[in-house]
């Protein structure tokens, strides 16, 4: 298989790097200063490892020559999926596309264009805050990358992709019910906006827990199947082991990194906003998720740094009872 990684940020860069190290044919698609830096090689920092990898990079998929064995690993944030699809208009319609993204909306958008759409549940602590540099923070397993056909099922190609990832420092299980797992990850990701606004202390705060309670209620009202907490804990086991890289410890998740990079956008619409949407459709009040979505988007647009809000300050603003 030939892998085209569209979006060579934290997750795309980490997966592309690990596949390349195992001898896979990998091309990265990146933009701006990050693309320029990658032309000198992708710097991969991992616990006990720092290497520069000469992975081919382009700035637009139009620069690629497509082949029958090409698989697109879509790793852009949800707010950039439509632009990514516009970049893929030159790809054959039977090209397999794997959505390595948070949220549950991307697959529906991709399936409009590519019938061979796969969903992936990503559990991979990785960081991209400097051009050309990707940090992975877990060893010896870099991350968990379970996948399946969207909306359900698994096929021979999906199993082959899982096998390739499994051989490249990840663990990957092919699952016919992959969306159950992505909805569990969605509930976890509702804390991302709190972490971005308040820093790491926000992740387990009362506000984050209330956002997740709203999310659980909205998913139940919508009749959506979700993998249980017990299933999730059993899947993780002790596989994700956070360790320092040469640049230090893990600072925060994807939304925290969006503010740290001053990227100008954030994926809250496809995380907290998904719960707001479901709440509106099914009569469930979701005021905390609505607030977090608005605040995170405003912070990104205004260029606010991560951690600009205090945890207690946000709790009072959200009207959440209890003390931190």
pLDDT attached to residue 324: 53
259 vs 281: CA distance, rounded Å = 30
- pLDDT of 273 > 70? The answer is yes
Average pLDDT, stretch 132-156? 97
Q: What would the mean pLDDT of 135-140 be, rounded to a whole number?
A: 95
Q: For residue 323, name the pLDDT band (cuts at 50, 70, 90).
A: low
- The CA distance from 309 to 10, in Å, is 25
d(CA 125, CA 138) in angstroms, rounded, equals 7
What pLDDT score does 76 carry?
A: 98
Mean pLDDT for 70-82 is: 97
d(CA 124, CA 240): 8
pTM: 0.96
Distances from the Cα of 78 to the Cαs of 184, 212, 223, 226, 280, in angstroms?
Answer: 17, 20, 23, 20, 20
Does the pLDDT of residue 176 top 90, yes or no? yes
Per residue, the 3-state secondary structure of 127-181, as one string, reads EEEECCEEEECECCCCEEEEEEECCCCCCHHHHHHHHHHHCCCEECCECCCHHHH
Q: What is the predicted pLDDT for the residue at 120? A: 98
Task: Please write the tens of the pLDDT for every residue from 187-215.
Answer: 999 999 999 999 999 999 999 999 999 99
Hey, do 2-176 and 185-224+252-318 end up sharing a CATH topology, with the first three levels equal? no
77: pLDDT strictly greater than 90: yes
Q: Is the peptide bond before 140 cis (omega within 30 degrees of 0)?
A: yes
Percent of the chain residues topping a pLDDT of 90:
96
- The residue to which tokens 């090689």 are assigned: 41
Q: What is the pLDDT of residue 164?
A: 98
Tokens in use for 136? Answer: 């992975």
Mean pLDDT across the stretch 297-313? 97
The rounded distance, in Å, linking the Cα atoms of 199 and 307 is 4
Rg (Cα) of the chain, in Å, rounded? 19
Predicted local distance difference test score (pLDDT) of residue 105: 98
Give Cβ neighbours of residue 231 (< 8 Å, ≥ 6 apart): 181, 184
Give residue-wise pLDDT tens across range 18-42.
999 999 999 999 999 999 999 999 9
pLDDT at 49 over 90: yes
Q: Where are the domains of the chain?
A: 2-176, 185-224+252-318
Percent of the chain with pLDDT strictly greater than 70: 99
Q: Each residue of 226-271: pLDDT tens digit?
A: 999 999 999 999 999 999 898 877 889 999 999 999 999 999 999 9
For residues 118 and 97, give the distance between their C-alpha atoms in angstroms, rounded to a whole number: 6
**CB-count exposure of residue 319 (10 Å: 0-12, 13-18, 19+):** exposed
CA distances from residue 309 to 44, 264, 316 in whole angstroms, order as listed: 32, 18, 11
Q: 52 vs 19, 47, 134, 135, 137, CA distance in Å?
A: 14, 15, 10, 12, 17
User: What pLDDT is attached to residue 248?
Assistant: 76
For the structural domain made of 2-176, what CATH number should be given?
Answer: 3.40.50.720
The confidence score (pLDDT) of residue 247 equals 84
pLDDT at residue 251, as a whole number: 85
Residue 322 pLDDT greater than 80, yes or no: no
Per the prediction, the chain carries an average pLDDT of: 96
CATH label, 185-224+252-318, candidates 1.10.10, 1.10.1040, 1.10.530, 1.10.3470: 1.10.1040
């Amino acid at each position: 298989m030939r892998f085209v990684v569209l979006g060579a940020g934290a997750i795309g860069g980490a997966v592309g790097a690990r596949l390349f190290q195992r001898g896979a044919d990998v091309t990265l698609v990146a933009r701006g200063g990050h693309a320029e830096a990658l032309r000198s090689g992708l710097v991969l920092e991992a616990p006990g490892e720092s290497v520069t990898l000469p992975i081919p990079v382009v700035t637009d998929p139009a620069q690629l020559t497509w082949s029958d064995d090409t698989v697109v690993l879509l790793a852009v944030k949800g707010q950039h999926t439509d632009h990514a699809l516009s970049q893929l208009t030159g790809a054959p319609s039977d090209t397999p596309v794997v959505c390595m993204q948070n949220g549950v909306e991307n697959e529906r958008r991709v399936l409009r264009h590519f019938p061979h759409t796969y969903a992936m549940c990503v559990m991979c602590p990785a960081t991209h805050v400097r051009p050309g540099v990707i940090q992975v923070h877990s060893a010896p397993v870099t991350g968990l990358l379970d996948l399946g056909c969207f909306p359900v099922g698994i096929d021979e190609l999906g199993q082959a992709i899982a096998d390739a990832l499994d051989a490249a420092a990840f663990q990957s299980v092919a699952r016919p019910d992959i969306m159950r797992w992505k909805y569990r990850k969605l509930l976890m990701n509702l804390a991302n906006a709190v972490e971005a606004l308040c820093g790491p202390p926000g992740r387990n705060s009362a506000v984050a827990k209330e956002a997740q309670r709203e999310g659980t209620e909205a998913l139940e009202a919508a009749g959506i199947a979700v993998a249980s907490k017990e299933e999730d804990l059993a899947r993780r086991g002790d596989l994700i082991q956070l360790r320092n890289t040469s640049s230090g410890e893990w600072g925060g998740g994807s939304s925290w990194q969006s503010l740290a990079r001053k990227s100008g956008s954030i994926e809250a619409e496809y995380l907290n906003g998904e719960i707001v949407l479901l709440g509106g459709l099914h009569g469930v009040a979701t005021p905390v998720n609505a607030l977090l979505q608005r605040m995170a988007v405003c912070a990104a647009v205004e260029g606010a740094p991560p951690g600009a809000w205090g945890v207690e300050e946000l709790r009072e603003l959200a009207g959440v009872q209890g003390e931190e």
